[in-house]
């Protein structure tokens, strides 16, 4: 049996297998929705307010099943978000290495080192200005 989740944030019913086809934005929305749903269920499960014990037992069984489904979806979405983030980071690192090597080969080591030092100084200055501006805000 395939697990399904009716996502209000995406406005559609999803199979667990469909999650891998979602874009980054949809994955982030779905993850936030799932975290909120799990938290709400945990709160309701831990504080029973049912006068009828039989009805509560039935509800608890359904709530725990829904929670397990949400956790399965959340785990899959989190994995996909982490994987995409890590792949993007690795790609960016590889790009930077190749760019630096190509620029250094083209300009020579001395000029490249001077440009790199200037870029680092400018980056530090930008960071300091941004930090000071944020602290004042």
Quote helix, strand, coil % in the chain, to nearest 5: 80, 5, 10
Per-residue confidence in pLDDT tens, the chain, 137 aa: 689 999 999 999 999 998 999 998 999 999 999 999 999 999 888 776 777 778 888 888 999 999 999 999 999 999 999 988 778 788 888 899 999 999 999 999 999 999 989 999 999 998 888 877 777 76
> How confident is the model at residue 1, as a pLDDT?
60
> In this structure, what token pair is assigned to residue 55?
């009805």
Q: Cα(first)–Cα(last) distance of the chain, in Å?
A: 53
The tokens describing 32, both together, are 């936030």
Q: Work out the angle between the directed axes of helices 24-46 and 53-107 (0-180°, nearest 10).
A: 150
pLDDT of 16: 93
Residue 43's pLDDT is what?
A: 87
Name the residue ranges covered by the structural domains of the chain.
Answer: 4-99
By the 10 Å C-beta count (0-12 exposed, 13-18 middle, 19+ buried), 37 is classed as buried
Global pTM?
0.63
- In angstroms, the CA 87 to CA 5 distance is 27
φ/ψ of residue 108, rounded to 5: 100, 160
């Amino acid at each position: 049996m395939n697990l399904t989740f009716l996502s209000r944030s995406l406005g559609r019913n999803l199979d667990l297998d469909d999650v891998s086809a979602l874009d980054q934005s949809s994955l982030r929305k779905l993850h936030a929705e799932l975290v909120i749903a799990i938290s709400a269920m945990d709160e309701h499960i831990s504080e029973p307010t049912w006068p009828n014990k039989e009805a509560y037992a039935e509800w608890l069984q359904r709530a725990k099943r829904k929670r397990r489904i949400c956790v399965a979806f959340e785990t899959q979405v989190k994995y996909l978000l982490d994987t995409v983030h890590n792949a993007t980071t690795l790609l960016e690192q590889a790009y930077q290495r190749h760019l630096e090597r190509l620029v250094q080969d083209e300009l020579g080591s001395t000029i490249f080192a001077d440009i790199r030092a200037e870029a680092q100084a400018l980056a530090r200055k930008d960071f300091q200005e941004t930090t000071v501006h944020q602290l004042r805000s």
